[in-house]
Amino acid sequence: MTTATLSSKFQISIPKKIRDALDFQPGQEFEFIAVGRSIRLVPKVSIKDLAGSAKGANPADYRDRGDRLADYASETGHRGGKLRAKSRT
């Protein structure tokens, strides 16, 4: 396990071993995602980087949130009221 120390300015350096393994570059932007009492650091992706990533996807199999909630309601016998998707945190 590799460790780093949070500075008095709340900055942290990503250890070289990790930077090299994940090919991080100077100036690269990241998203910080709080997961419980941990932080997930995810490289920010632009729309241009995503171009073509869904090539071959079949939109006929797509189910939106409403479809999933309707299926849940029919499986559980839930009647009326609001159904909410469970949080992943």
**Entry field: residues in the chain:** 89
- The CATH class of the 1-45 domain is mainly beta
For the residues 3-14, what does the mean pLDDT come to? 94
Q: What is the pTM of this model?
A: 0.50
Q: Specify whether the CB–CB gap between 6 and 12 falls below 8 A.
A: yes
Q: Kindly indicate the confidence band of residue 22, based on its pLDDT and cuts at 50, 70 and 90.
A: very high
- Mean pLDDT over 18-26 rounds to 93
Sign of the C-alpha dihedral computed for residues 46, 68, 61 and 88 taken in this order:
positive
Q: In the chain, what are the domain boundaries? A: 1-45
User: What is the per-residue pLDDT for 84?
Assistant: 62
Look at 20-34, 37-51, 63-77 and tell me which has the smallest mean pLDDT. Answer: 63-77
